[in-house]
Structure 1
Amino acid sequence: MGQVSHTAIPGPGAGNSGWEIVLSEGDTVVGRLRFRLCPVCHTGRIQDIWVNDDWQRRGLGREAMHTLLTASPGYRWTTTRQTWQGNAFFAAIAQETQTPLSAQGPLCLHLRGWWSRLAHRLVGHQ
């Protein structure tokens, strides 16, 4: 198994806020970190991270997270709900980088879906 490269690209169907860091060896995708950014509020949401089973335990997820956090200094991050493995991974990254990565944190209004934004307005929290 050779050199793995990573590339940040806009995510499919996610509008301007959705991005992916794709980990690949040649033409083969071996991992992916999907996230959303709000440059207005300086918040980010990690949607998911995936690394092919054959490539796990090599630091690729860690490398993708470091790439993301280095490229977006000063952002406040949340994650989606995770499995126990995901919780352990994000807890380790949070401790290593001194960056809180909570699944409990609120999303900024810009990163919410249209239904959530509408409900938020209807209850008077503009």
Structure 2
Amino acid sequence: MKLRRPPPPCPQAVTYRFAPAAVAAGRQVITLLDSKGRDIGHLDYQVCHPCGAAHINTIAIAGPWQGMGLGREVLHRATDSWSAYAWTTSRQSADGRKFFATMAEETGVEFVPGAGVCPHITASPRVSRSGGALL
């Protein structure tokens, strides 16, 4: 059961730009932009519909923007449509483990770290463009 809570208020407007996958099970990216159009974070993930699998390559929020619920919001944007899928993540940092544990409790979606993904999801993780923490 999803227990989605509203994110804490954000001091400035943030927009979300979605870049869909170009191929089946390809990489999709949601980029977070501040009110001046600057990249302040991203979520890079893949979804394989035939296998019912999804994988988070990276999630990063720039330091000054952390703790405002932005990572939480962008993760909801990605998982809400495919919450019944088996979600995995790349290996997680200590902060990432806390974040994904909290999100698993909130969404009911397990985010298994470092687990094998389906054979269709093969892209390598990307490097953070925003300079934020890679969870």
Common topology (TM > 0.5): yes
1:35 maps to what in 2? 45
Residue 104 of structure 1 deviates from its aligned partner by: 4.4
Distance 2:17 2:54 in 1: 18
Distance 1:112 1:25 in 2: 31
1:60 maps to what in 2? 70
By relative contact order (CA 8 Å, sep 6+), the higher-ranking structure is 2
Deviation per residue, 1:50-69 (Å, 9 max, x gap)? 00111111000000011111
* Contact 2:18 2:30 (8 Å CA) reproduced: yes
2:27 maps to what in 1? 18
Q: Which runs of 4+ in 1 moved over 2 A?
A: 71-74
CA-based RMSD: 1.8
Distance 1:7 1:95 in 2: 26
Distance 2:13 2:82 in 1: 25
Q: Structure 2 vs 1, CA of residues 83 and 3 (structure 1 numbering), >3 Å: closer, same or farther?
A: same
Segments of structure 2 that go 5 or more residues without pairing to the other structure are 1-10, 124-135
Which of these residues, 39, 57, 61, is aligned with residue 51 of structure 1?
A: 61
Per mean C-alpha deviation after superposition, the further-off stretch among 65-74 and 51-60 is 65-74
Residue 89 of structure 1 deviates from its aligned partner by: 0.5
The structure whose Rg is larger is: 1
Q: TM-score, normalised by structure 2?
A: 0.74
Deviation per residue, 1:92-111 (Å, 9 max, x gap)? 10111011101143311111
Which of these residues, 70, 74, 85, is aligned with residue 75 of structure 1?
A: 85
Read off the aligned partner of 1:36 and give its amino acid letter. Q
Percentage of identical aligned residues: 31
Residue 74 of structure 1 deviates from its aligned partner by: 2.2
Segments of structure 1 that go 5 or more residues without pairing to the other structure are 114-126
State the secondary structure of the residue aligned to 1:44: strand
Residue 39 of structure 1 deviates from its aligned partner by: 1.6
The structure with the greater share of residues assigned to helix is: 1
2:15 maps to what in 1? 5
* Contact 2:86 2:110 (8 Å CA) reproduced: yes
